[in-house]
Structures are given as C-alpha cells and as structure tokens.
C-alpha cells in the first residue's frame, strides 16, 4: 500500500556548460525536493494500530508508527513538516467532527470530575512518521484509541530563492515557495490545500 504520493514524477537538472579553452563549468542547478504528501491515515485501517511505547525524549506515549521510506534525514532537514489531525474520535462537544488542526494539538476535557489534557504531536524519523498521544496520567481511555481519528502529513520543501540554481521542483512547491514557514503554520488545513492546489 502506498502511504504517500509524490506530487512530481521527476525533476530536471540544469547542467552547467563547459566553455572553450578549459573554462570551469558553471554551477550545477540542484532543484528542491517535490512536495511529499500522505493520504489521510486511519489507525487500524490503512495505517497500523496504536501501540503503547516509551519514546526517547518524550516518555510513555500511545504511538501510531507509519512506515514511509521516503522520509529521510535530508527530507526532514530540508522541509517544513506539517502534520494535521482530524480527531473525530472525541465527542463533538470536545472536538467538532469536521475540524482539522495542525499538530501540536492540546485537547482538554473532563474525565469524571478531573480535568485532563491530551497532547497530540507528529514526529518524523528516518523511514517513519510517528503520531504521538501523551497525557500526564499516561492513560488513553476513553478517547485516545476510539475510531474516528485520522491524520495526514506534508513535507513542504524549503525554498531559498537566493541559492544559486535552486528552483521549486513541482507545481505545488512553486505555489508554496512564496510562503514562509510561519505563514504555512498559520494557515488552516483548508487554506493550505487551496494554496497548494491539493485535494482536501
């Protein structure tokens, strides 16, 4: 099952030309990586089931571990990573069914008479995307593992127009290149998809 889509099939390298008389070659253009996108991922459906694990630097967590070989150290470093959650597994008075939020997300509710805050985050690692749920009590019932939650992530290539020979690698990257990381993170999911020309 293909867990991600490349929104560009190929990139073109613009090769420097060698002048007459042994002149040095012009710098070789290095296009950015194309925008990478997952589909909507549903735990226990097109994604694995939740696992209870101890995550280094995080501690105990409920973890959704998604294999994705396209996630490399280079792509993590050279991209703005956006991870979205639609947490419709919560009751509608806690999380509206159609709402999509950019992680890190804090979801507060009352269990019995005690307040609780669930913290949802995405962590890219080489070869995997981790979706993490933590809370101070390390307890994930009644809402953490209920059906209805789904997740989607994007790797938006960082584009530096001042770098010699650099250019966006595909149409979506071109549309997004004029936005800063702050701009991208301040967009709603719907705004991001509209700007990038992507299906919601």
* Residues forming beta bridges with residue 143, ordered by sequence position: none
Residues 155 and 50: their CA atoms lie apart, in Å, by 23
pLDDT of residue 32: 53
Quick: pLDDT tens for 89-102.
Answer: 999 999 999 999 99
Contact 120, 107 (CB under 8 A): yes
Domain limits of the chain?
4-196
Q: Choose among 90, 95, 83: nearest CA to 38.
A: 83
Residues in the chain predicted with pLDDT less than 70, given as ranges, are 1-33, 142, 144-145, 159-174
The tokens describing 26, both together, are 């012009």
pLDDT of residue 177: 79
The strand pair at 36-38 and 149-157 is best described as antiparallel
pLDDT of residue 114: 86
Residue partners of 7: CB distance under 8 A and separation at least 6? 34, 35, 36, 37, 170, 171, 172, 173, 198
> What distance lies between CA 108 and its chain's CA centroid?
23
pLDDT of residue 162: 55
What predicted TM-score, i.e. pTM, was given to this entire model? 0.78
Residues 165 and 118: their CA atoms lie apart, in Å, by 45
Contact 39, 32 (CB under 8 A): no
């Amino acid at each position: 099952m293909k867990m991600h889509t490349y929104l560009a099939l190929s990139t073109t390298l613009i090769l420097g030309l060698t002048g007459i008389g042994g002149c040095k070659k012009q710098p070789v253009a290095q296009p950015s990586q194309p925008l990478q996108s997952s589909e909507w991922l549903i735990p226990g459906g097109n994604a694995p089931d939740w696992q209870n694990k101890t995550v280094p630097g995080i501690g105990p967590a409920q973890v959704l571990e998604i294999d994705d070989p396209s996630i490399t150290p280079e792509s993590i470093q050279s991209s703005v990573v956006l991870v979205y959650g639609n947490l419709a597994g919560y009751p509608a008075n806690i999380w509206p069914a159609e709402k999509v939020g950019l992680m890190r997300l804090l979801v507060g509710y009352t269990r019995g008479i005690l307040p609780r805050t669930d913290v949802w985050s995405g962590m890219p690692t080489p070869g995997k995307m981790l979706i993490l749920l933590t809370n101070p009590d390390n307890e994930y019932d009644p809402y953490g593992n209920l059906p209805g939650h789904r997740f989607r992530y994007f790797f938006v290539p960082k584009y530096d127009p001042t770098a010699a020979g650099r250019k966006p690698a595909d149409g979506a990257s071109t549309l997004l290149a004029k936005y800063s990381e702050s701009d991208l993170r301040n967009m709603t999911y719907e705004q991001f998809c509209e700007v990038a020309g992507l299906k919601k």
